[in-house]
Structure 1
């Protein structure tokens, strides 16, 4: 007489699919916060403003670099042309309106990093 065998491969496959669905759904629900009102910095000692490059991102999408105005769509090209040969160890401070989209901020931040700057500070009030 033959002994019955237990095949757990389909069970493991189903569990892995359920685990993947759970991981994706938890990630999506975590990042759907709508009541976040940033930024507010700590009350410790403020950073000294010895910045070589100051970037301000306004709510309407304009970007000011040391007082010179750029549109967001032209920012990366103009920033790279103007500051591409700048000292890469220079400090860069980014001050962004708290009501801008995260995508807008990341485009500016990525542009600064692509140009080669590594010492980037984010200003808060």
Structure 2
């Protein structure tokens, strides 16, 4: 990926087609630039919806389990266009989930519109 190319959905509020997925939880991989919790809307094919909230800890120096997050990865330092730096700090990536109706089929997922949350991936899990 070229430098400066967006690699996440940051505060986009985008609605994503789910192609008929079913499961018990919606899980996201991400972090926040400042701790933040925002609503997520799941619309099912029968027209009903579930509104939940997900939150990510700050990607540097925050309480790891804030908002029920699980630490996925941590590294010392980060990449800049000029090279590797900030080696005295820990940078972290988290997983968070929200319950959804396992008996219904998902039509769409509307991501948080809060600019602080950075979502890198999402999936539906069975449990």
TM-score, structure 1 normalization: 0.28
Larger Rg: 1
TM-score, structure 2 normalization: 0.28
**Larger helix proportion of the pair:** 1
**Larger strand proportion of the pair:** 2
Higher relative contact order (CA 8 A, sep 6+): 2
